[in-house]
Structure 1
Amino acid sequence: MFGLFRSLRGLAVVTRDINDSVKAHGRSVTRCPFPNAQLKSNLRFIRIKCIRSPVGGSVGGPGCCEPPGCRTKKRKRRLKRADGRHTGSTEVDGDDDDDGGEEEEEEGDFMEDSEVEELFQQQAPEGIAGGQHRVFVVQPDVKWGSRKQHLTTAELMMAEAVGLVNTLDSWRVVDKIVLSTKTPEKKRIFGKGNFQALTEKIRRTAGITAVFVNVERLSPLSEREFEEAWGVKVFDRYSVVLHIFRCNARTKEAKLQISLAEIPLLRSRLKNEMANMDQQGGGSRYIGGSGETLLEVQQRLLKEREMKIRSALEKLRKKRHLLRSQRKRSEFPIVSVLGYTNCGKTTLIKALTGDVGLQPRNQLFATLDVTVHAGQLPSRMTVLYVDTIGFLSQLPHQLIDSFSATLEDIKHSDLLVHVRDISHPETVNQKANVLNVLKNLEIPDRLTSSMIEVHNKTDLVDNYQSAEPDALPISALEERGLDELRQVVEDEIVNSTGKHILDLRVNLSTPQLSWLYKEAAVQDVQVNADDGSAVVKVIIGTAAYGRYRKLFVGR
């Protein structure tokens, strides 16, 4: 079974979680209606803790079903506010109101680092934390219809699927097969004959612990049938990518976004597990005197968990908005560097900025968080390069939606740079996927029309000749073609941000020249020794030019 649902160790664990939930709502539970053996064999979903406060109470108050220590945490946060130190969410909202009730509501929606980590570990799928898998990869080859891929081949899709598996340190591919199908929407995906042949091959292959069917998403019913037929865990593309994300998550925001993306999988698997229990007579029975079935209790708790994650992400979204506003006020142009996963975005930003702290990795989804790095253009204008999460084909919209807070930074850029791995055999298909994601994200036309396309990794292509005249050929690793790229970025920034190129006459006996060096991009200085003045050519923003005129013009 897919490992998002941990095996429960006995009746007491399940009973305790359900008791916590229903007691928090004024109900009593005398016993769990399911035999211990039945729970052990059928209930393999994770513990879903209740995060709802009782009516009229506050989170952490009497009757709250938060983990122990919740009230202590809330008390500490209130003391901090009394000392004049604000929490992150209060700073983000810019709310200096001392209304205790309002602040308490704000804090109830925010999650401490320890809470996020507990949630993240609680949902940890089997096979990631210390787990190992010997994987059999199955690539469906759709022969015709709307789902047929026209810009790639089944063999190239298989190569990417193998690459996804190999990204996980403890997983390795032991065998693989490309199998034709009319449509991947069928319950078993393949026809009866192909499915039987596949089943026999999997059973004959020694040591297999998992099968990866490289389709966007398997239905719970298909997944259950495959696992029963093959006797091993079955993963689809969505779950494997989530596994990779989980391994690479470092920040609170990344962990929250991954936890949110796992909710649909948890929900569909929960229904599947309950369907199994119904067949054995018991899944629809009520829990004590609560008036709810086990499925209804777990669905409610899962919904409450989802709401709390979304609320916490909204707080982080506001914080991002504040940081973007601060960057805008500094008048540093923002250049978002985007592209298909592992195309060399981080390597390029490191080459453009000289940031030694950046450590590019030859790995899919090495970057899950937006990071910002300052660099200089030929005019000495400072720009901020934003390193973004890599794109991938055939991902469900729920996964993209979960990372919307991160991808939102792209919308607020002054310029986009699309990096392509021109050495990759699927570079054309990858470009199409990136453009499709940008379309789905509703990126403004002003950004897509001015987007710079960069052909990276030309050092891996013999006698490279671009078929696209507007694309810039570079090698980020060997730092070739970067000067031309910087110049094109500068030209587009000047056009898109409305910066002015001016010749200003300054008095060298005043701080005008030093001010311009600090606040603008000085291009040239022509000194007139006769009168102690100079003509300075600058690139300057509207706000900075307004400050310059206020300080120095007419004095």
Structure 2
Amino acid sequence: MIPLFSSYSFCRLNSKIFYNAFNSYFLASTSDYNHRIQCRTIHQDNSTTNDQNHDDQDLLNEIFQYNLLADLSPKNVVVIMPRMKRGALFRSHESGQALLDETVTLVKTIPYWKVAGAQMISTSAIHAEKIFGSTNLDHIRDYVRNQSADAVVFAIDVLRPIQHHFFRDFLNVQVYDRFSTVLKIFRERCSTKEAKLQLALAELDYIKKNLHHMQECDFSQFSMSKSFGGNFDTFYQIKKQVIQERESRLKRALSSITTAYEVKRKHRTTLEIPTVAVVGYTNSGKTSLIKALSHDNSLQPEDRLFATLDVTTHSITLPSKMKALLIDTIGFISEIPTTLVHCFRSTLREICTANLIVHVVDASHPNRHQQIETVHQTLKEIEVPEKLFQTMIEVSNKVDKLSDPIDIDGLAISATERIGLDELTRQIQKSLIENTERLAFEIRVANGGEQYQWLYREASAIVEMKPDPQDANFLIVKVVITKSKFGKFLKLFHDNLNDQY
């Protein structure tokens, strides 16, 4: 007889295996659970009272808003891509063009913004106050005026405060970088309380970086007397204390929500429901893939950056009939500071606690290799366990859009055309069984007996049932089951199993 093991193949359970397994596994009583898992938003706390909701809303709105981020007025936007032409930060023309194009797409994602123009301009001093020489500076100013632009977005992660201050005065328009542009997109998309609190923390981080160069006119809803009831020597001191107070309150509010989510995660772990985090660069097709695998028609994938900000779960039935949860996560993007990632650590924790990661790559994107590198780097930044990283399934999506053959990264699929999805579900099943150390075996049980009923209720999956050719009163059942459930099964039925073999 073949001994038990955790890969997806089956062996017969005999008395020798039973006694060895019984000595190896022991399980205290566990709760019953129902396999009917419905799609839901993970980060949604329904236990809060109306008063708590009002308090949190007051927290998000009170004290001040930074006008640069809160401004909802329509804008004609010019995008400028400073490209380092030498040195450690050298960027090729092709790489610079790809980043410029992506930044343009970011701008277009904001519904009340319109791209008036975009240019890539070489520089040798990207960290200098003015970034460019006098000739290029004059060219940028004339270009902004000729395009009737009232905002400029620089295609770099974060402008230094002195750079932001200089270009705002020099161009006499509002000035943004990729960080602040992404924050504005998040303002449009955040819907859950947790996402809004995390966004508020990220905005505070951005404000702190520019604090020395901000003036009172940069803020709205600023009430010194309401917040503190006294005077301060300088506006800078007021700003600093306001930010510190608000940051502390936001962190306390977020901590209380995070604690509630940890309880829910532990409950899900107790139920032993395997989870699969679907990650990838923004707009790589994660939601489309989840819709195709889960057959959840309520999902409406959108062809735009950061279409998904709130983490949701969706049930999937694997070939073995085992149930699992697919977790739709926020998309990653390059050229933003790690502080933004850290502010959304609570949401991204769903990735770290999953049993398996599926990384979706847009195979049709010309910059896919850099996008893969960004995703891998972000996973390391949020401290994904090494086992999860090593067992991650890489899939190249949108292969139906390829006009020429390319070297595919991982499994070739198309979520919209359902290409390669059967093989993907088999790989997900195999990896889940291995990562969760589930057991797969055959067992002979009485047709309709207690063992059969218990396995039908408690096992992860009943893969196949067929009559025992030696005795029609018995069935040969192929089972996938967790170690803890198997231990309980052995404890309950060891006498019956010993009699059978």
Structures share a fold, TM > 0.5?
yes
- Equivalent residue, structure 2, for 1:477: 416
- Equivalent residue, structure 2, for 1:501: 440
- Unaligned runs of at least 5 residues, structure 1: 1-87, 93-106, 278-286
Paired residue for 2:85, among 129, 133, 143?
143
TM-score (norm 2): 0.82
User: Relative to structure 1, is the Cα distance of residues 449 and 149 closer, same or farther in structure 2, using a 3 angstrom cutoff?
Assistant: farther
The code of the aligned residue for 2:458 comes to E
Aligned-partner SS, 2:115: strand
Deviations along 1:249-287, one digit per CA (max 9) or x if unpaired, are 10001100110000022234442135999xxxxxxxxx9
1:527 and 2:467 matched: yes
User: Relative to structure 1, is the Cα distance of residues 219 and 544 closer, same or farther in structure 2, using a 3 angstrom cutoff?
Assistant: same
Deviations along 1:150-193, one digit per CA (max 9) or x if unpaired, are 69521111110110010011111011111001131111111222
Alignment of 1:357-368 (within 5 A): 357-368=298-309
Number of residue pairs the alignment of both structures matches: 440
- Equivalent residue, structure 1, for 2:314: 373
Q: Distance in 2 between matches of 1:125 and 1:485?
A: 47
Q: Post-superposition shift, 1:404?
A: 0.5
Q: Distance in 2 between matches of 1:289 and 1:130?
A: 32
- Equivalent residue, structure 2, for 1:79: none
Q: Distance in 2 between matches of 1:358 and 1:276?
A: 42
Q: Post-superposition shift, 1:127?
A: 7.1
Q: Distance in 1 between matches of 2:162 and 2:383?
A: 34
User: Relative to structure 1, is the Cα distance of residues 89 and 419 closer, same or farther in structure 2, using a 3 angstrom cutoff?
Assistant: closer
Paired residue for 1:428, among 343, 347, 369?
369
- Equivalent residue, structure 2, for 1:517: 456
Identity %: 35
- Equivalent residue, structure 2, for 1:461: 402
- Equivalent residue, structure 1, for 2:55: 115
1:355 and 2:296 matched: yes
TM-score (norm 1): 0.74
Q: Distance in 2 between matches of 1:409 and 1:270?
A: 33
- Equivalent residue, structure 1, for 2:275: 334
The code of the aligned residue for 1:114 comes to H
- Residues 422 and 458, structure 1, Cα contact 8 Å, conserved in 2: yes
Q: Distance in 2 between matches of 1:439 and 1:152?
A: 27
User: Relative to structure 1, is the Cα distance of residues 236 and 465 closer, same or farther in structure 2, using a 3 angstrom cutoff?
Assistant: closer
1:304 and 2:245 matched: yes
Please provide the CA RMSD for this pair.
2.6
- Equivalent residue, structure 2, for 1:26: none
- Equivalent residue, structure 1, for 2:213: 272
User: Relative to structure 1, is the Cα distance of residues 245 and 289 closer, same or farther in structure 2, using a 3 angstrom cutoff?
Assistant: closer
Paired residue for 1:244, among 180, 185, 188?
185
Paired residue for 2:485, among 519, 522, 544?
544
Q: Could you tell which deviates more after superposition, 125-134 or 383-392? A: 125-134
Q: Post-superposition shift, 1:133?
A: 0.6
Aligned-partner SS, 2:307: coil
- Unaligned runs of at least 5 residues, structure 2: 1-43, 219-227, 497-501
Q: Distance in 2 between matches of 1:151 and 1:414?
A: 40
- Residues 165 and 240, structure 1, Cα contact 8 Å, conserved in 2: yes
Structure possessing the higher relative contact order (Cα contacts under 8 Å, 6 or more residues apart): 2
Alignment of 1:51-130 (within 5 A): 112-121=52-61, 123=65, 125=67, 130=72
Aligned-partner SS, 1:554: helix
The code of the aligned residue for 1:504 comes to I
Q: Distance in 2 between matches of 1:152 and 1:318?
A: 45
Paired residue for 1:220, among 157, 161, 181?
161
Deviations along 1:409-448, one digit per CA (max 9) or x if unpaired, are 1111111100000001111110011111112222111111
- Residues 130 and 163, structure 2, Cα contact 8 Å, conserved in 1: yes
Q: Distance in 2 between matches of 1:271 and 1:364?
A: 32
Aligned-partner SS, 1:385: strand
Aligned-partner SS, 1:505: strand
Alignment of 1:3-82 (within 5 A): none
